[in-house]
Structure 1
Amino acid sequence: MIISRTSLAGGCGAAAALLLAAAVATPSQAGSFYLQEQSARAAGRAYSGEGADRGVASLWWNPAAIARSGREASFGLHGLLLRSDVQNAGSSITYPGGATLPIVGQNSASNPIESGLAPNFAVATPLGDRFAVGLSVAAPYNFTTKYSRASFARYDALTSELRTVDAGLTGAMQVTDWLDIGVGVDAQHVDAKLTSALPNLSPALPDGHSSLEGDGWDFGWNAGAQVHAGKFDIGLSYRSSIEHELDGDIAITGLLGPLAPANVDTDGTASFSTPWFATASVRYAVNDRLTLNAQVNRIGWSEFDAIRVSYPGGGDTIVQDYKDVTTGAIGFDYQVDDILTVRGGIGYDPTPTRDDERTARIPDADRWLFSAGASVKASERMTIDTGLTYVAFQDADIHSDRTFYSGTPAATTTHLRGDVSGYGVVASAAVRWAF
């Protein structure tokens, strides 16, 4: 995934780089491009208490969770039904010479954020009396957004696709009868694709087109601890940022007249960083049946400060300026009997995007999560977890000014203005086996 720069269209390369930046920053069920659906049990209580709970179902949040879980495996699937609406709120384009005109085309986009499925798998086994190892496979960043070729947002976004596979290897240890620790390493593969329209120098001319693709493997780490003290279970954990470098190519077509030299087909690299996560979690057993949960996550979205693009003959740094956020959730588990446990929770997840820098590729907003779920012990070795989450997105504004062909006589600026609303429903199910 890369930009190319040629003569007059040095600015065209920069414009394509800006479009690349958004390819890896489309919203999901958590803030910006993070997908937190990693456990059906967790989904049932709005992801509260995960860092302090035990077993492979909590492995994503704390590697110490498997220190006392025994031999266990879990496979989960999450179905995401998303409904969103993006409306034009006066978007315009300024051509060379200063003429500013409305961006013509479709003034609304219905459901540009596509629904989909997110799977996850984890397995753990003890090694002796005090040690355990685990393996997990997850999709923490996984989504697709699409706009029509005639959309008012086409200069920001047509198609964005991001697919990830995160394979984690974990080791955990029971240090004492009340303290567990764990560490892990992650190998994360990213595959991204972006297409968008490019403006020519007159509204009478058809749009050009940009296509960017890239992929690559990179690595991170995580560490955590759990304290088990009477009725309290307390968890602390940290998951590192991962700096990704994607290798790929770009094709720019359809630019006419003085912009024609910018039509290219080349390769190069683009780098960006995912956020770090710091989690503090507590579970309190009120009695033998009822457990209360709470969790706070500090997410280091400021790591996603820029996209850095390199290609033969040049490069670009595209500022993103995300902000760190704090999320929180509370919930409960209630064991009805030896077979059935029910749970529920509420969570709050603010967006890391800034109001004056939100693009059509990132129509992100603050959100509330309302969850309910249950676990059914189907046999001595098998438990079925389910969860249902309603995600209420607060209304948000799109506000993005972007200059194409900057630094040349062809400099053209789009002023994207829009209104965003929507909601989501997530249905989660998983099977856990003890073996």
Structure 2
Amino acid sequence: MNASNVARFGGLTLTAALLASVATPSLAGSFYLQEQSARGAGRAYSGEAADTGVSSMWWNPASIARSGREVYVGMHGLLLDSDVDNAGSTITYPGGTTVPVQGQAHNGDPIESGIVPNFAISTPIGDRFAVGLAVEAPYNFTTKYQPGSFARYDALTSELRSANVSVVGAMKVTDWLDLGVGVDAQYVKAKLTSALPNLSPLLADGNSSLEGDGWDYGWNVGAQAHTGRWNFGLSYRSKIEHELDGDVAITGLLGPIAAGNYTGSGTASFNTPWFASASVRYAVNDKLTLNAQVNRIGWSEFDAIRVRYATTGGDTYIQDYKDVTTGAVGFDYVANDRVTFRGGIGYDPTPTRDDERTARIPDADRWLFSGGVSVKATDSMTVDTGLTYIAFSDSDIASSHTSYAGTAAATTSTLRGTAEGYGIGASVGVRWAF
């Protein structure tokens, strides 16, 4: 294998690693985690862009314009039950010999449960201005398959950790209109291990691993209108163009492809989606408020992962995500001056396409059914809780990948499988006014 082909091989490995890192199903579409507010979790995030307060700052920077001094700390536990099963996966070796992929056909709970933290603080400056700071984890999950899994050429371990730091400014323009703007610094760290096929089913697999990270930047804007019983919100969060620096290790390749064993570095770039939200809250009376929110998510920005290798060459891994529209409705009911109950239903369609879904992204359409309660423990402290059941639709896995592409050793794995599961999210947060 010449230097150019080694470069291409390493580039494909880095690409696959980045794909794995952003491919864990969550309680929102694909690799996005919307668990940024315990109060919002209780109503399926149905009124966030129109609500006020520091815990709505992720959805609308204008939310802090008239909320006073406030601190929010939240924690969200995500329990996922998932199954991924083989449905006729094959591998085609050089010369055209096609055989079934051997190994573990049933994979129970490859998607690990986890915890998502968040923090936010805001303070007014004078009578009309406010500033805020928030730290969120919008992408944060781990997926693991056993070494003998049928999906091993697609994924073994896939880890993603992220931190988003937002600095926000807001202004009360009039008695009824608020505007806000923010900048985001987003850190992403990814890790992958996977198997690589040697040129005969009688030979042990090779292995690849990658770790990469990097900081990149985006922005967000929003507006809110408060007109008596009605509250309206509009917001937009930009895409972020990520470029991760990574270290690649490829081992265990034998015979003619042994020259592909490599340890080195590379970079990979991909985009996270933009978000546009429209929300309304209507106070039916002093106790009951109805909420609705629609989000248009620009997943088509995640069209490909583009790789540059440290020596020569590179590659592009097509993703072809589609833009989606999500929505939720819910309510807040003030039982008394200390207790508020919430509920909501949300729908999140998957941005993945049926004929391009891999074991790394066993994503599916989902319904969210939520309930929650807020208790004002003291005059300055409120405890928010939320519980969400997520019903995932069953989905098919169908994709193909060629290892050592462009060489005489090209080996194509054709993945066919099914995925099903459900999730439960438990959220708790504390808000302090000071």
TM-score (norm 1): 0.98
Aligned match for 2:245, one of 224, 244, 247: 247
CA RMSD of aligned residues (A): 1.2
Partner Cα distance (2:2, 2:28) in 1: 35
CA shift digits 1:180-212 (9 cap, x unpaired): 000000111000001100000000000000101
**Partner of 1:230 in structure 2?**
228
> Aligned residue for 1:371?
370
Among 303, 306, 323, the residue aligned to 1:305: 303
Q: Kindly indicate whether residue 122 of structure 2 is the aligned counterpart of residue 124 of structure 1.
A: yes
Q: Give the alignment partner of residue 13 of structure 1, picking from 7, 10, 33.
A: 10
More moved, 352-361 vs 308-317:
308-317
Q: Which amino acid aligns with 1:379?
A: T
Which one-letter code corresponds to 1:19 in the other structure? A
1:281 aligned to 2:265?
no
Tell me how far 1:156 sits from its aligned partner: 0.2
Offset from partner CA, 1:384-419 (integer Å, 9 cap, x none): 000000000000000011111111111111110001
Is contact 1:5-1:14 (8 Å) kept? no
Q: Distance in 1 between matches of 2:31 and 2:330?
A: 24
Q: Distance in 2 between matches of 1:208 and 1:263?
A: 9
Equivalent residue number for residue 164 of structure 2: 166
For each residue in 1:192-237, what CA deviation from the matched residue of structure 2 results, as whole angstroms up to 9, or x when unmatched? 0011000000000000001011001111000000001121100000
Counterpart Cα distance in 1 of 2:271 and 2:12: 20
Q: Quick one: distance in 1 between partners of 2:358 and 2:413?
A: 11
Structure 1 SS opposite 2:417: strand
Helix, strand or coil at the partner of 1:193: strand
Tell me the alpha carbon deviations over residues 14-54 of structure 1, each in whole angstroms, 9 at most, x when there is no partner: 54144124222222221111010000000000000100000
Aligned partners of 2:137, 2:312: CA distance in 1, in Å?
A: 35
Distance (whole Å) between structure 2 residues aligned to residue 15 and residue 73 of structure 1? 44
Q: TM-score, normalised by structure 2?
A: 0.98
More moved, 310-319 vs 385-394: 310-319
Contact 1:124-1:135 at 8 Å conserved across structures:
yes
Counterpart in the other structure of 1:349? 348
**Amino acid of the residue matched to residue 144 of structure 2?**
K
- Percent identity for Structure 1 against Structure 2: 72
Amino acid at match of 1:335: V
Please state if 1:192 is matched with 2:185: no
Q: Which residue number in structure 2 is paired with residue 74 of structure 1?
A: 72
Q: Distance in 1 between matches of 2:125 and 2:135?
A: 21
* Counterpart in the other structure of 1:108: 106
The equivalent of 2:339 in structure 1 is 340
Q: Is contact 2:8–2:315 with CA below 8 Å preserved after alignment? A: no
Q: CA deviation at 1:261?
A: 0.5
State the distance in 2 between where 1:378 and 1:278 align: 34
Q: Alignment partner of 1:47: what SS?
A: coil
Q: Letter of the aligned partner of 2:87 in structure 1?
A: A
Distance in structure 2 (CA, Å) of the matches to 1:314 and 1:102? 32
Q: Measure the CA separation in 1 of the matches of 2:110 and 2:353.
A: 20
Cα distance in 2 between the residues matched to 1:14 and 1:410: 16
Tell me the secondary structure at the aligned position of residue 13 of structure 2.
Answer: helix
Describe the SS at the equivalent of 1:352: coil
With over 3 angstroms needed to count, the CA separation of the structure-2 counterparts of 1:316 and 1:5, relative to structure 1, is: farther
Instruction: Tell me what 1:261 maps to.
Output: 259
Partner of 1:150: 148
Q: CA deviation at 1:9?
A: 4.0
Contact 1:14–1:405 under 8 Å retained in 2:
no
Q: What's the secondary structure of 2:286's corresponding residue? A: coil
Give the match's secondary structure for 1:13: helix
CA distance in 2, matches of 1:10, 1:343: 54
Give the Cα–Cα distance (whole angstroms) in 1 for the partners of residues 2 and 276 of structure 2. 40
Partner of 2:86: 88
* Cα distance, 1:316 vs structure 2: 1.2
1:390 to 2:396 alignment: no
Give the counterpart letter for 1:399 in structure 2: A
Cα distance in 2, alignment partners of residues 350 and 236 from structure 1 = 21
Query: How far apart, in 1, do the equivalents of 2:261 and 2:204 lie?
Result: 14
In structure 1, the partner of 2:431 is: 432
SS at structure 2 position matched to 1:215:
strand
Query: Structure 2: which amino acid aligns with 1:6?
Result: A
Structure 2 segments unaligned to the other structure (5+ residues): none
Q: 3-state SS of the aligned residue for 1:75?
A: strand
2:182 counterpart letter in structure 1: G
1:5/1:188 CA distance change after superposition, 3 Å? farther
Q: Separation in 2 of the partners of 1:275 and 1:111?
A: 27
**Structure 1 position 11, deviation (Å):** 5.0
TM-fit CA distance, 1:337: 0.4
The alignment partner of 2:95 has SS state of coil
**Code of the aligned partner of 2:187:** H
Partner of 1:22: helix, strand, or coil? helix
Q: Return the alpha-carbon distance in structure 2 between the equivalents of residues 145 and 96 of structure 1.
A: 30
Is residue 112–residue 141 contact of structure 2 (8 Å, CA) maintained in 1?
yes
Q: Is the 8 A contact 1:342 1:375 kept in 2?
A: yes
Offset at 1:10?
5.1
Distance 1:209 1:18 in 2: 15
Q: Tell me which amino acid in the other structure corresponds to 1:371.
A: S
Task: Please list the CA deviations of residues 150-192 of structure 1 after superposition, one character each: whole Å capped at 9, or x if unmatched.
Answer: 0000000000000001010000000000000000001110000
Structure 1 counterpart SS, 2:327: strand
CA distance in 2, matches of 1:64, 1:375: 23
